[in-house]
Structure 1
Amino acid sequence: MKKELLGIWLVCLLSFSSDIFAAKKMAIEYPIKETQGQIFYNKSFTSTVTGVTYPYHVYLPSGYSKQSDKRFPIIYATDAQWVFNKFVQDAEKSQAQIIIVGIEEGPRRSKRRRIDYTFPGVDRYLQFLSTEFFPNIESEFRVDSQNRTLQGASFGGLLALAVLFSKDNSPTMFRHILSFDPSVQYQTKHLQKRINEFATSGSSTQVNLLLTGAAKRGNNKAVMKFASWLKSKEIKGIKIEAISYDVNHGGISHASFSQALQKILK
């Protein structure tokens, strides 16, 4: 019994320490001064579902102002406090005509990600996204609502997986799910239970799932094991790709995003 408790404690410690490590390595100062597109920093939305005010940032590609009748694919990126600028820089470098909305975890140092990105909080967070945040963004900007992507890393990657297999996730809510070095070793039973229920429910969807793992001081071993298990479920309509990167946990989002852009826009 003591050994089992010690194992659980170590898994939790690894997940939390990985997130702290990610914060130190992934933080990047903003604003970006020169872009071909437009950036709107420091917007905010207060949710009546969670009761939290979430800061967020919006990037519009260069073609947005030139093509007034066009709707653009969109990436909703979690943990924007760490990844938003890097994602914008990658999009600019590849001239990707895609909107990026980066939503922060909540008030700085609030640790809301440990609530919103894990069970049971993920369901309230999905309700916030689908009933409040998405309608707010997509009423203000010209978004192709048939081409949404949800991205998350670490606990955010766990969130992305939980959302994908939620009974409240409509078949057309997302076209792509990007789960970068997700903390699948944390709350494993909750996640597997959700996936098993989804697999046996007859639910249908058409989603491309990209799973990536950080081979250096990351979750790669657990992620690849999870990917194999998930593929064995043969869930109709979900196309799974799993890739390992020779980076640490804090570098996984930047390493993964460029290739993810190619898959989204092809």
Structure 2
Amino acid sequence: MHTEFQQTRRAALIAVAATLAACGGGSGDGEAPPEVGQVINSTMKSAFNGSTYPIQVFLPQAYATGTTTLPVIYATEGDAQYGGPNISRFDTFKAVMQRLGTQAILVGIGGTAWRGIDFLMPGAAKYLDFIVKELVPAVERQYRADPRRRALSGLSHGGYFVVAALILEARAGVAPSFSHYLSTECSVGEHTSPAGVLAFEKQIDGKPLPTTLFLAGASGGNHPLVSIPLFNQMASQSLPGLVMHKAEYNTTHVGADVPAFEEALKRFVS
């Protein structure tokens, strides 16, 4: 059943370079934008699941001369390959931010090889602990990061993880760790159908949820099958403080990632 709701990732990524160009993922003349800003590479080992994650941090050009705190975008699957061995999800998002002049910090979380464990329950709970209790505090100690403006982004199984993160904290009675949650092409996760996702989410009906959730995807992908029913169910519930948005794009499963990210930047960060 999973294959009904999630395209084969390898095949999608082979063709994604052309898709991203059509979606505005590159500069207007087809060339990569100039390097503006700074990228810091490191690794972090989690005490929660024992995995070591490559971490990339992009600081916009204005960071070096400024004094204000900046919003932070945490992008899962930062090392996922987008159309070639030297183009990752982190690189693609960084290029979008450079082109738009977005004044925010981008944190790419590597470890795509463990997506089948980290993004799905029960592993998602430990992965969330790693991000919220280890990575986020480290970023906020080292950089001028605004703790009131944090965004979490994920695609496909990563999009499911974004939703699961929101549900796990609400179910535990914990305030959302992020001000914005961007779930693109949400999969059914460890469930066998969208009904399983809806039942999982239904556990938090009536819980306070002071945050923003953006559900986005492709018209021919997971979006109409998973995200739209999820949006409709959550919109009908009592979730005090929750602001919801949805967007649909005429593109592919992976191709929806860039336009969704661009829209999130323009609406929630800029």
In which range does the TM-score fall when normalised by the shorter chain?
0.7 to 0.9
User: For residues 4-83 of structure 1, what are the structure 2 equivalents within 5 Å?
Assistant: 11-15=1-5, 17-26=7-16, 34-41=34-41, 43-67=42-66, 69-82=67-80, 83=89
Separation in structure 2 between the aligned mates of residue 65 and residue 21 of structure 1, nearest angstrom: 40
| Distance of aligned partners of 1:23 and 1:51 in 2 relative to their CA distance in 1, 3 Å threshold | farther
| Distance of aligned partners of 1:242 and 1:63 in 2 relative to their CA distance in 1, 3 Å threshold | same
Matched positions, count: 244
Residue 100 of structure 1 corresponds to 106
Residue 257 of structure 1 corresponds to 261
8 A contact 1:75–1:151 mirrored in 2: yes
TM-score relative to the length of structure 2 = 0.82
Separation in structure 2 between the aligned mates of residue 98 and residue 154 of structure 1, nearest angstrom: 24
Separation in structure 2 between the aligned mates of residue 158 and residue 94 of structure 1, nearest angstrom: 27
Q: Is the aligned partner of 1:211 residue 2:215?
A: yes
- Residues 80-107 of structure 1 show CA distances to partners (whole Å, capped at 9, x for unaligned) of 123111111111111110000011125x
- Residues 95-154 of structure 1 show CA distances to partners (whole Å, capped at 9, x for unaligned) of 110000011125xxx3x1011101111111111111111112221111101100000010
Q: Structure 2: which 5+ runs fail to align? A: 21-31, 81-88
SS in 2 for 1:45: strand
Residue 3 of structure 1 corresponds to none
Separation in structure 1 between the aligned mates of residue 267 and residue 173 of structure 2, nearest angstrom: 22
TM-score relative to the length of structure 1 = 0.84
Residue 201 of structure 2 corresponds to 195
User: For residues 94-243 of structure 1, what are the structure 2 equivalents within 5 Å?
Assistant: 94-106=100-112, 110=113, 112-167=114-169, 168=172, 170-184=174-188, 187=191, 188=194, 191-200=197-206, 203-216=207-220, 218-222=221-225, 223-243=227-247
User: After TM superposition, where is structure 1 displaced by more than 6 Å over at least 4 residues in a row?
Assistant: none
Residue 95 of structure 2 corresponds to 89
SS in 2 for 1:81: coil
Q: Structure 1: which 5+ runs fail to align? A: 1-10
| Distance of aligned partners of 1:245 and 1:234 in 2 relative to their CA distance in 1, 3 Å threshold | farther
8 A contact 2:74–2:107 mirrored in 1: yes
Residue 8 of structure 1 corresponds to none
